[in-house]
Structure 1
Amino acid sequence: MAVDRLLPTDESHELIELARQIADKALEPVVDQHEKEETYPVGVFSTLGAAGLLSLPYPEQWGGGGQPYEVYLQVLEELAARWAAVAVAVSVHSLSCHPLFAFGSDEQQQRWLPDMLGGSTVGAYSLSEPQAGSDAAALSCKATGVEDGYRITGAKAWITHGGIADFYNLFARTGEGSAGISCFLVPKDTPGLTFGKPEEKMGLHAVPTTTAHYEDAFVAADRRIGAEGQGLQIAFSALDSGRLGIAAVATGLAQAALDEAVNYSQERTTFGRKIIDHQGLAFVLADMAAAVDSARATYLDAARRRDAGMPYSRQASVAKLVATDAAMKVTTDAVQVFGGAGYTRDYRVERYMREAKIMQIFEGTNQIQRLVISRHLAR
């Protein structure tokens, strides 16, 4: 179901409509096959890039779309309503462009941003490690300073688009403690950089998630973004935006589950009536709709604060928490609406429920979001 949207300009409405058309044409017809067979959708990201949908929130001077974040997130929601794995990868790409855009030197931006935002490449984000997920300050991947650059040794985990992305934001240790982490922009063909086999995930099967292994990999000094020791500041500033991306993706997934449930309830009959005409089930659908609308309003509030230059870190955590918890509840209820049929792979709601779970985990678990929110309140 197309969602009526309050958008700032006619251009924004046209962009949303373009995103819907592309999603319906390039994503909707092939999503079931790729997710079932766990195959990468070759050509999909090129299609999105050619349409300018991979770099919407960045300035036009660097090849971006120059769109407000509230518009970008609604495009992301439209993509997610057709294919969550692709939408997550688009969000991660936007996240991976943030460090260079926000902290890179003029020379670095001129050199790399046009290609990163031009639509022909995709990026990945390498913050987590096998033993350092929520505790980002516990990173052990090490960058040792050498002549003209750094030698990187260690492993990074849970990399969306790992092994396929064209560039990687790497956060590695250059010193001691939380002030001893630095950020690097690493090209995919770096000697000494290899990737493990894709993780066997519960959902989001079409886009791989892998571990990266750095074995004395050389990274030139001019590929360090920001100052030495500024890595965590860079990582956390990007995560606020990334959390909004995941909130939008979760909302799109929840909307898709709601639409499937409503359509099914209009077709399935029991006791001589459509099941939507039974109050017990109709109220379940009403609660699902309320959860989706609330999630959308929450991420839009945070996005508008971001666009206005206001502090939005707490609101980003609220949006991520509310939207992903809503997605888990809505997709679970969608399976319930379908009854036994919903527990089979004959219907998409089974996949939606599996996909929703990870959204409560990545970009900071929802327990971490509660910690962030409570710390803001304590101030």
Structure 2
Amino acid sequence: MHNGDCDADAARRLVDEVGFFAEREVPRYLAGRPEEEYPDELVKRLRLLGVFGADVPVRYGGLGCGEATTARLLYLLARSWQSLASLVGTHLKLCGQMLRHGTDEQRSAWLPVMSCGEAVFARAYHEQGCSDPELLTTHVRDSAGRRTLHGRKDWVTNARHADRILVLARDGRATLGILVDPTADGVRIGPELPRPGVLGVSLASVTFDGCAFDPERDVLGGPGHDLTDSLRAGDLRSYTTRAVACAEAVCDQAARFAARTIGRRPPDAQGAIRLRVGEVRARTAAMRAIWTDLLGPAPTIGPDEAKVVCTALLQEIVQACVLLCGGAGYADPHDSLGRHYRDALALPIVGASNDTLLSRIGSAALASEEAR
């Protein structure tokens, strides 16, 4: 969304500040802390920089940046550490949903504390084996004159450190977004889910067993406000942004390593190294072209196609870069290539899995042909 509040000079300053933070402060932090630890120190810095309110209008305490600036901020964070991009990206999506769907009272109450990072949000949407909001099993019941929430959500980003969770649940034929306090009765946050990458930011299942809520105050948009169509049209562009950032980071690292060591390789290996560096550079350039088009005023590629292509290409690029660097890429404590390698594994799955998106793309293509 473009809110028109942030002028070009202010946007440039913000990008420069976040760029310095991502390039200098994040690596220094990771060098001295376990990757699995919640990065509270970095989150505090992000609050001060204003990143949690990047695309929130100034009237609600945000910075009012447009889509291009917000995408650039997520790119810089992802280039340094995917976990920060995941944490901030999830929160910004919730800011957008609050702005689009919240009542006037909800916007006034929540957006100011969300935009300054005082209240960080999580979204509980996904359920194992379910890819459509109408098929969600988490649901609302009437119980002793109260409205209560029942069900389980999987893979909730920010689950353990969120101040509020937006829970997507079925109520009759509507999909409601219910604002839930994670410390409330009837809410249980499961253990941290084991995974190879995107550590630091919390990821857990959350169970709701008779969690009571106020339909006037806690339902996003007010009682009965249906989010089904908006969920189906969910914006996946942030995952393309993260894929491009990761690809460019590992490509640059591999090229630096190759340039530093190619003179010590046998002559017959040097040609293969040049070819492999050229290959990853070409693929990364193609990804950036897709991303640039996607964020432009008249994109020629859809967000589903862009996410599938870029996250799939990323897997090939990261693997090629690790092979180029050998042990120095996979296990060097002074290089982030190994971390990017592990973090990249999640991107074809998050948001909506690439298989789900390909099925959606294929169904639309067949329907178009049948309509001719």
Into which bin does the TM-score normalised by the smaller protein fall?
0.7 to 0.9
8 A Cα contact 2:133 2:231, kept in partner:
no
Of 132, 155, 162, the residue aligned with 1:165 is 162
Change beyond 3 A, Cα 1:34–1:150:
farther
Of 306, 310, 316, the residue aligned with 1:329 is 316
8 A Cα contact 1:96 1:168, kept in partner:
no
Query: Once the two structures are superposed, what CA deviation does each residue of 1:306-329 show, in whole Å capped at 9, x if it has no partner?
Result: xxxx7x796211221222122212
Give the CA RMSD over aligned residues.
2.6
Of 64, 68, 71, the residue aligned with 1:70 is 68
Query: How does 1:293-312 map onto structure 2 within 5 Å?
Result: 293-305=285-297
| 2:29 alignment counterpart | 30
Of 354, 357, 360, the residue aligned with 1:369 is 357
Separation of aligned partners in 1, 2:315 and 2:124:
26
Residue 187 (1) aligns with residue 181 (2): yes
Separation of aligned partners in 1, 2:201 and 2:65:
26
Bigger CA drift: 244-253 or 280-289? 280-289
| 1:232 alignment counterpart | 228
Residue 251 (1) aligns with residue 244 (2): yes
User: Shift of the alpha carbon at 1:265?
Assistant: 0.6
Change beyond 3 A, Cα 1:149–1:318:
farther
* Structure 1 moving runs of 4+ over 6 Å: none
Q: Percent identity?
A: 22
| 2:203 alignment counterpart | 209
Separation of aligned partners in 2, 1:43 and 1:332:
31
User: Shift of the alpha carbon at 1:207?
Assistant: 1.3
User: Shift of the alpha carbon at 1:355?
Assistant: 1.0
| 1:199 alignment counterpart | 193
Bigger CA drift: 114-123 or 193-202? 114-123
Instruction: Name the SS for the 1:278 alignment partner.
Output: helix
Separation of aligned partners in 1, 2:325 and 2:185:
51
Instruction: Name the SS for the 2:296 alignment partner.
Output: helix
Separation of aligned partners in 1, 2:288 and 2:69:
12
Separation of aligned partners in 1, 2:267 and 2:245:
26
Instruction: Name the SS for the 1:360 alignment partner.
Output: coil
Bigger CA drift: 202-211 or 263-272? 263-272
| 1:5 alignment counterpart | none
| 1:138 alignment counterpart | 135
| 2:340 alignment counterpart | 352
Query: Once the two structures are superposed, what CA deviation does each residue of 1:107-153 show, in whole Å capped at 9, x if it has no partner?
Result: 22112111112222221111012343x34432111211458862011
8 A Cα contact 1:70 1:300, kept in partner:
no
Change beyond 3 A, Cα 1:218–1:348:
same
Separation of aligned partners in 2, 1:34 and 1:158:
24
Scaled by the length of structure 2, the TM-score of the pair is: 0.88
Query: Once the two structures are superposed, what CA deviation does each residue of 1:278-324 show, in whole Å capped at 9, x if it has no partner?
Result: 2322222222222223223323322234xxxx7x7962112212221
Separation of aligned partners in 2, 1:170 and 1:324:
27
Residue 40 (1) aligns with residue 28 (2): no
Extract unaligned runs of 5+ from structure 1.
1-7
Separation of aligned partners in 2, 1:147 and 1:49:
42
Separation of aligned partners in 2, 1:223 and 1:108:
8
Paired residues in the alignment total 358
8 A Cα contact 2:134 2:170, kept in partner:
no
Instruction: Name the SS for the 2:156 alignment partner.
Output: strand
Instruction: Name the SS for the 1:181 alignment partner.
Output: strand
| 1:291 alignment counterpart | 283
8 A Cα contact 2:176 2:219, kept in partner:
yes
Q: Which amino acid aligns with 1:258?
A: C
Scaled by the length of structure 1, the TM-score of the pair is: 0.86
Separation of aligned partners in 1, 2:190 and 2:220:
26
Change beyond 3 A, Cα 1:300–1:54:
farther
Extract unaligned runs of 5+ from structure 2.
1-6
Instruction: Name the SS for the 1:54 alignment partner.
Output: helix
8 A Cα contact 2:141 2:147, kept in partner:
yes
Bigger CA drift: 329-338 or 288-297? 288-297
Separation of aligned partners in 1, 2:48 and 2:362:
42
8 A Cα contact 1:193 1:217, kept in partner:
yes
Separation of aligned partners in 2, 1:235 and 1:35:
35
Separation of aligned partners in 2, 1:18 and 1:333:
32
| 1:80 alignment counterpart | 78
8 A Cα contact 1:328 1:357, kept in partner:
yes
Q: Which amino acid aligns with 1:159?
A: V
Separation of aligned partners in 1, 2:128 and 2:290:
32
Q: Which amino acid aligns with 2:87?
A: A
Change beyond 3 A, Cα 1:352–1:155:
same
Separation of aligned partners in 2, 1:272 and 1:331:
22
